[in-house]
Amino acid sequence: MKYIFVTGGVVSSLGKGLTAAALGTLLENRGLKVTLQKFDPYLNVDPGTMSPFQHGEVYVLDDGAETDLDLGHYERFTSTKLTRFNNLTSGQVYQTVLDKERRGDYLGKTVQVIPHVTDEIQNRIHQVAEQSKADVIITEIGGTTGDIEGLPFLEAIREFALDVGYNNAIFVHVTYVPFIKAAGELKTKPTQQSVAKLREIGITPHILVCRCERPLNKELRQKMSLFCNVPYEAVIEEKDVEHSIYEVPLMLQRERLDDLVCRLLQLEAPAADMSHWQDIIRKLIAPQHRVRIGVVGKYIELHDAYKSVYEAIIHGGIANDCGVEIEKIEAEEIEKFGAEKVLKGLGGILVPGGFGERGTEGKVLAAQYARERKVPYLGLCLGMQIATIEFARNVLKLERAHSTEFDQQTPHPVIALLDEQKKVSRKGGTMRLGSQPCQLAMGSMAAHLYGAFLVNERHRHRYEFNNAYREKFESHGFVFSGLSPDGRLVEVIELKDHPFFIASQFHPEFQSKPNRPHPLFKGFIAASHNYIHHRPL
């Protein structure tokens, strides 16, 4: 078993997660079995209780774990299947340590950060190693070197590397080399200081991955090699990508990062064949077709809030050799200016998941526009609930129909809580979460797109379609094309007289990959492209 620890320096948002994931891609394509793990220094037990504005998207795994969005990168860039053990937060560490203390496991001892907290962190690395049976584990440490709250994690990985020994563990430091306009040059000082911070704790990085806007020249590489105590060839350039994040593995391969990693860890593995990945990039850079998709949400100014949705849309584009321009639309804009003005000219409309009332009326208007004008519509989770509310109000004429999440007094609660959810009072980890089976109806658009009748998809929601209304909906051309196998829960809906109007209670975006685009997104982009080229003027 080999271990790669990825730390970050200078600033946050460097794309450490992407770098770790891209290294995973390269190692996997060399025939190695890889898994990835993320340590987050915050005290929340998981990001499930944080606002998207704080944290970006919450990425859901098969087992229902609500995790950091970097795990989304890990699953998209590799074939590894992650579990709740692949994301560890300080909150979880302290919770475990304190539970043990109360149980009396440390009886007689003073419980301390070193060794009790650091041991718990190391246990998690061993646990993932055992469960994954991987050849290589890449562990990314969240936050920036120098943060107080990250110290126990750094201490833990330092001890861990000492334990497993030379040749079995390496440290990769992702750092920032800023371009200072006034001086007209790239500056290495922040990197030097960030590496000095690591060395203070006893970690000397083996490799520096330098995020930069301009290429590093020979002198700069030499300087960083000398001042940061890494060999010249271990100074790796990772420039901002031009077109797509999926270029990162190829860029790092050109810099020979994976060769170096294999050499340092004494891994015998042939060079990576990245030809299929190159094909993906070609389709992204020079697609045959183009289409514009509107995403109508409420966390629009924050790109990270709908990360997996945006990625899945791009994958749907790859599947159709179609470049997708994503128009990010604040739902409240539709409330202000009307659907026609905001949505005109789009190839397709997507309403993603969400919580809370703000913007719901704008989303309802978007669904109505899509239904009436026959614009392709894809609804995800809240997007399905919105489509249901819209249909209830405007087709079934059920006045003020709503979800009880937004209006507890509604006369027509077409979306409501199940009895088991009504009893729940604690907020953390209590939604309907994770992968669940869904049965698709014969002859439905959903079954056609999937090419299957039984699928498994990931969930994260509390509210459900209210079955008291099923017959009424059905009699007006609203199709329940996906149900839980016991028939109790509505999973997918679609409209009969519409070229593409489909919405799911689950989140298909979590299982889409660039080399395995999700069928619903693939179908949505195909329909959107078709719509824009054949719509009546």
DSSP labels, 128-196: HHHHH--SEEEEEEPS-TT-GGGHHHHHHHHHHHHHH-TTTEEEEEEEE--EETTTTEE--HHHHHHHH
| Shortest distance, position 130 Cβ to ligand GLN, whole Å | 32
The residues annotated as belonging to the active site are 381, 507, 509
Judged by CB, which is closer to ligand GLN: 368, or 504? 504
| Shortest distance, position 414 Cβ to ligand GLN, whole Å | 13
Judged by CB, which is closer to ligand GLN: 432, or 522? 432
Judged by CB, which is closer to ligand GLN: 116, or 460? 460
The answer to whether the beta carbons of residues 29 and 276 sit under 8 Å apart is no
Can you give the binding site for ligand GLN, defined by CB under 6 A?
A: 353-355, 381-382, 405, 460-463
DSSP labels, 417-432: E-HHHHT----TT-SE
Sign of the CA dihedral running 106, 110, 111, 114: negative
d(CA 537, CA 247): 38
| Shortest distance, position 71 Cβ to ligand GLN, whole Å | 17
Name the token pair of 132: 């994954």
| Shortest distance, position 155 Cβ to ligand GLN, whole Å | 37
Q: State the first-to-last Cα distance of the chain, in angstroms, to the nearest integer.
A: 61
- Sorted by sequence, the CB contacts under 8 Å of residue 282 that are 6+ apart come out as none
**Quick one: CA torsion of 228, 232, 233, 237, rounded to 10 degrees?**
60
Judged by CB, which is closer to ligand GLN: 74, or 463? 463
The one-character DSSP state at 338 is: -
Judged by CB, which is closer to ligand GLN: 510, or 524? 510
Measured CA to CA in angstroms, residue 198 lies from 3, 172, 182, 222 at distances of 18, 11, 29, 20
| Shortest distance, position 397 Cβ to ligand GLN, whole Å | 24
Judged by CB, which is closer to ligand GLN: 21, or 61? 61
Reading phi first (left if > 0) and then psi (alpha if -120 to 50, else beta), residue 9 is in beta
Judged by CB, which is closer to ligand GLN: 171, or 524? 524
- Collapsed DSSP state (helix, strand, coil) of residue 212: strand
- Collapsed DSSP state (helix, strand, coil) of residue 454: strand
| Shortest distance, position 382 Cβ to ligand GLN, whole Å | 3
| Shortest distance, position 244 Cβ to ligand GLN, whole Å | 26
Closest residue to ligand GLN: CB criterion: 353
The answer to whether the beta carbons of residues 377 and 367 sit under 8 Å apart is yes
